[in-house]
Amino acid sequence: MNDEERSLLIKLITSYEDDFLGVDQTSLLACLKDIQATFGLIPEEALSLMSTQLKTSPAILRGLILRSPSLRTETKVHTITLCNGERCSNRGSEAFIRSVEKALGISVGSKTKDGRFELKTQRCLHRCEFGINVNIDASEHTQMTLEKLLSELKKI
Ligand code: FES
């Protein structure tokens, strides 16, 4: 997104600030529809800008988008890299990997149905003493559990 498009996006979102009373999903939906009408789809950046300016969360916005078949977003793929090296395996990484596959409904090497997450394994993430280790894109997570991972994914 260039500077001109970003300014337009900010102006558009700002125009909804006065309408917004708490979690007013009607205004949020109207704002999302306006953004799509202007840009052809809802840029990923719009979700973070709306979250900040309209004091809501990306999860609420994604929920609205999911419930509105006419709305479309750019899909950014987040890579979840699970360590299957020896020391993480000794801490139960194989069972952890199976539980992540089950929770996301995919196997290592594939993407979730919505295209947002892909699952990979790597034979050591070089933080062995803190395993089980996981990377979500470039962010490093240690002593991982399924609950912690799912909680991290909800923030994205
Ligand atoms: S074996 Fe997992 S970080 Fe090294």
- Total domains, the chain: 2
85 part of a folded domain = yes
Q: Could you tell me which residue, 5 or 100, shows the higher pLDDT?
A: 100
Give pLDDT, residue 150.
96
Residue 72 lies in a domain: no
Residues 37 and 93 occupy one common structural domain: no
pTM, entire model: 0.60
- Whether residue 86 has its Cβ less than 6 Å from ligand 1: yes
pLDDT value at position 27?
Answer: 87
Instruction: Classify the phi-psi angles of 110: left when phi > 0, otherwise alpha if psi is within -120 to 50, otherwise beta.
Output: beta
pLDDT, tens digit, 9 for 90 and up, residues 24-76: 788 899 999 999 999 888 988 899 899 988 888 888 898 999 888 888 887 77
Q: Which of 19, 34, 67 is the last residue of a domain?
A: 67
85 CB under 6 A from ligand 1?
A: yes
CATH of the domain at 109: 3.40.30.10
Give the mutation target among 87, 129, 141, 142 for probing the ligand 1 site: most ligand atoms within 8 A of CB.
87
Task: Report the C-alpha gap between 123 and 21 in whole angstroms.
Answer: 49
Using the atom order of ligand 1, give the atom closest to the CA of residue 123. 1
CB atoms within 10 A of CB 100: 22
Neighbours of 148 (CB within 10 A): 14
Q: Is the CB of 17 under 6 A from ligand 1?
A: no
Per-residue pLDDT at 83 exceeds 80: yes
83 lines ligand 1 (CB under 6 A): yes
Q: How confident is the model at residue 20 (pLDDT cuts 50, 70, 90)?
A: low
Is the Cβ atom of 91 under 6 angstroms away from ligand 1? no
The percent of residues in the chain predicted with pLDDT above 90, rounded, is 62
- Say if ligand 1 is within 6 A of residue 50 CB: no
